[in-house]
Amino acid sequence: MTDTLSTGVTRELDENALLDAYRTMRTIRAFEERLHDEFATGEIPGFVHLYAGEEASATGVCTHLDDRDSIASTHRGHGHCIAKGVDVKAMMAEIYGRRTGSCHGKGGSMHIADLSKGMLGANGIVGGGPPLICGAALAAKQQRTGGVGVAFFGDGASNQGTTLEALNLASVWNLPAIFVAENNGYAEATASTWSVAADNIADRAAGFGMPGVIVDGFDFFAVYEAAGEAIERAREGGGPTLIEVKFTRYFGHFEGDQQTYRASEVANARENLDCLKRFRSRVTETGQVEAAKLDAVDAQVADLVDAAVDEAKAAPKPTAADLETDVYVSY
């Protein structure tokens, strides 16, 4: 193990681990910014919800996870998929509706999943994931794998009964579950300051007998630290935690959203509230990672995303033969 970071981060990340985390965040950012551009060309079908600006959350949490662990995601799920190790090219092909996609073109942006990676799916239903994660956590507990389940959900889902039921059940059953409320300020076009009848989503944890933590979502290390504590506690049988990650999204609810409900905070966020910029300045200032190595990651990621788009565009679409397959294991 190498140096710890000087600002209170006790869980050590060596240079390789820091580069991995940076690569994940950069991949998410590049993937989403490219989709933003590509969507504007009209070539991408359906609804696309971008995670840009929120990278530190998925990455800070998933850096702690391994193959024993499961996550459930949201309609804004690309970042969670990438952070849990889903193949980036297969994701891009899926978003383009291609047969080579993660789900053979049958799922699309809102349903990318890879169960072999413990990624139980992006989810088109707000609040769909938390009950499922109770089940993943229950399975890990029954199977004694030491695994955990992590439910990512938004401020909108924090008001869904499914989420509140799942928080209660996770406590009652003492499950190894972590609930990550990603509060990006808006449920579609409605401000969370209006729709959440509490000062903080994390305050609700008290009502379910579990710890609640608030973290700065633009700070990878803050998320990493809070998630590390919660995951360690869960693995040791200490039960669930609710973590509220506060940040803002860089793009609209979906692509095409004119965002007339927002003020000028977006431009400000991109300039001053950027998890990648913060990460870079921090690790270069502490001397943990050389800037040139981060630059190299940027270049590699750009190439990967270029290749992913090129391959997706060239890939075949599903055919009529695929329409009625895979409804059941057997029927």
Residue ranges binding another protein (CB under 8 A):
70, 72, 101-107, 111, 113-116, 120-121, 123-125, 128, 130-136, 138-140, 142-143, 149, 161-162, 165-166, 168-169, 172-173, 325-331
Q: How far apart are CA 221 and CA 242, in angstroms?
A: 17
Q: In this complex, which beta carbon is closest to another protein, that of residue 152 or of residue 221?
A: 152
CB of 255 to another protein, least distance (A): 21
Write down the residue that tokens 């413990």 correspond to: 118
Q: In this complex, which beta carbon is closest to another protein, that of residue 165 or of residue 188?
A: 165
Q: How far apart are CA 294 and CA 22, in angstroms?
A: 8
CB of 294 to another protein, least distance (A): 34
Q: In this complex, which beta carbon is closest to another protein, that of residue 135 or of residue 207?
A: 135
Q: In this complex, which beta carbon is closest to another protein, that of residue 139 or of residue 269?
A: 139
Q: Would you call 9 exposed, middle or buried from its count of C-beta atoms within 10 A (0-12, 13-18, 19+)? A: middle
Q: How far apart are CA 141 and CA 157, in angstroms?
A: 25
Region for 53 from its dihedrals, namely left if φ exceeds 0, alpha if ψ lies in -120 to 50, beta otherwise:
left
CB of 168 to another protein, least distance (A): 6
Pairing type for strands 190-191 and 212-216 reads unpaired
CB of 107 to another protein, least distance (A): 5
Q: How far is CA 245 from CA 58, 97, 183, 206, 220, in A?
A: 10, 31, 6, 17, 11
At residue 245, the 3 state secondary structure works out as strand
CB of 170 to another protein, least distance (A): 8
Q: In this complex, which beta carbon is closest to another protein, that of residue 89 or of residue 249?
A: 89
Q: At 277, list the tokens.
A: 């910029």
Q: How far apart are CA 98 and CA 90, in angstroms?
A: 9
Q: In this complex, which beta carbon is closest to another protein, that of residue 150 or of residue 289?
A: 150
CB of 326 to another protein, least distance (A): 3
Q: In this complex, which beta carbon is closest to another protein, that of residue 9 or of residue 139?
A: 139
Q: At 70, list the tokens.
A: 């499961």
Question: 279: how many CB neighbours lie within 10 A of its CB?
Answer: 24
Residue burial 82-100, b: 16+ Cβ < 10 Å; e: rest: bbbbbbbbbbbbbbbbbeb
CB of 331 to another protein, least distance (A): 5
Q: In this complex, which beta carbon is closest to another protein, that of residue 133 or of residue 205?
A: 133
Q: At 257, list the tokens.
A: 């959203």
CA atoms within 13 A on the CB side of 197: 2
Q: What are phi and psi of 320, to 5 degrees?
A: -55, -30
CB of 297 to another protein, least distance (A): 30
